[in-house]
Amino acid sequence: MPSKTATRPWGRTGSLRFRLLAATLVALSVALVLAGLLLGGLFREHVMRQFETTLTNQLDQLTARLEVDAQGQPQIDEQRLSDPRWERPYSGLYWQVDQLSPDGQTRSAALRSRSLWDDSLTLQADVLQDGRRHVHQGIGPQGRPMLMVERTVRTSLTPGTGWRLVVASDLASTELAVDDFNRMLALSLAGLGLLLVLAALAQVTVGLAPLKALQGALNRVRDGYEPRLQGAFPDELQPLIHDFNTVLDRNAETTARARTQAGNLAHALKTPLAVMAQAANHPAERAALPALVREQVAVAQRQLDWHLARARAAVTQGLPGQRTEFEPVLQGLLRVMGKVHAARGLHWRAPATAALFFAGEAQDLQDMLGNLLDNAGRLANTEVAVNANQSGDRLLITLDDDGPGIAPEQRSAALARGIRLDESGPGSGLGLHIVAELADLYGGSLELDQSPLGGLRAQLNLPAAPASA
């Protein structure tokens, strides 16, 4: 069974769930409030517009019923008015006709509906254009808020005198309807909000369920039940799963290489240690012990250098961001080789190159170039030439010398570990093998061929890094 003690990841996932729910609730709350305000405002505007239209129709009816007698007094046949509320006291629907002076000022209330009883409508002290409808709110009987629609009318029978006709209705019923609608709207939006919250909770729970499965897969990897992440995951998580498994695979490969290198190194050091131990235990060989120790220490040192170079390249190979400029490394090695082989008077020819970059560590490039330059310096008669260029994503390095070269049938053996074709000089037979090993770890290669100068050509193919990071 996988371990159940890993609570921290799910604590973080719970925090993510909380943040998602909080963000959803805030968004839903804002959306519902805005929707409520918008719908409430639209409904109120619609009701008020309908209310105003109804009063305008009432005013048109009142205007059509207005007559002036021979004495110039207004008359309205109330029997011809269709709404019975005109007759009921304080019914909430009222009309009134006021007489106007020639300058448009109100003189007195000439006629009014029975519904006003002993009251009258208080109008604004404004001057209206003849025939133009005017809508405003005011205070009616019993201090109730009213919506008033009015217009002024003049007739040829009463020159200099006009009439101000007003129809007013109580706003209480309208406000009550708007309040009822807002109350129902609020309840509906609250219910909708609750359903949306439940839907959001279900969505977040279902959406984060794969993360729980991912946590279980991680726990199985951590506890050693699985080497990689296994299981069915959504397409959105597949890139993450793939990348994580790639990291796990690379870590497993690195661990395996490290174990192999450790075993190889232990095996390589076992022989010189055994030789020195045997010489120390035999009195007859103690006289030659200092020379033997120096010899075996040199062997052990070469083995250490080879294994450490290979291990370093194996670990760093393929890591992102690795880039080393070629020219400074080459010039530094040429200065060193000029001193090492100064007695031979060699000519080191290396034309300046453009900005070339190796996609790897500087130490590895130094090891590869250093071994090739040293090998060319030992075999050349008078000249060593180095050229480099970039082709696509590959860095191509060529070293030529005018020495004796290597026969075609011996070139493969020259790259084998510990093989020395020339036993007359110093060396361990590891130089070209180290270069070939390092190049191979970087996905490159080392090839030996006939040089145009007459000696050996070493062609090194390595990954190139872009000139600009």
**Could you read off the pLDDT of 385-440 as tens digits, one per residue?**
999 999 888 999 999 999 998 888 888 877 765 444 444 444 433 468 778 888 88
Residue 8: pLDDT over 50: no
Model pLDDT, residue 136:
86
Closest to 155 in 3D by CA, of 68, 64, 60: 68
Residue 172: pLDDT over 60: yes
Looking at mean pLDDT, say which of 38-42, 101-105, 301-305 comes out highest. 38-42
Instruction: List the single range of 4-13, 259-268, 273-282 with lowest mean pLDDT.
Output: 4-13
Residue bearing the bigger pLDDT, 120 or 289: 120
Model pLDDT, residue 35:
85
Over residues 275-280, the mean pLDDT reads 70
Please give the angle made by the CA atoms of 152, 153 and 155, to the nearest 5 degrees: 155
Q: Are 145 and 151 in contact (CB under 8 A)?
A: no
Q: How confident is the model at residue 105 (pLDDT cuts 50, 70, 90)?
A: low
- The alpha carbon dihedral of 323, 327, 329, 330 has a sign of positive
The Cα–Cα gap between 469 and 466 comes to 7
* Residue whose structure tokens are 């209480």: 172
The overall average pLDDT reported for the chain is: 79
Q: How confident is the model at residue 320 (pLDDT cuts 50, 70, 90)?
A: low
Give the up-direction half-sphere exposure of residue 110: CA atoms within 13 A in the CB hemisphere. Answer: 21
Q: Are 113 and 91 in contact (CB under 8 A)?
A: no
Over residues 29-58, the mean pLDDT reads 87
Model pLDDT, residue 373:
92
Rg (CA), the chain: 51
Q: How confident is the model at residue 82 (pLDDT cuts 50, 70, 90)?
A: confident
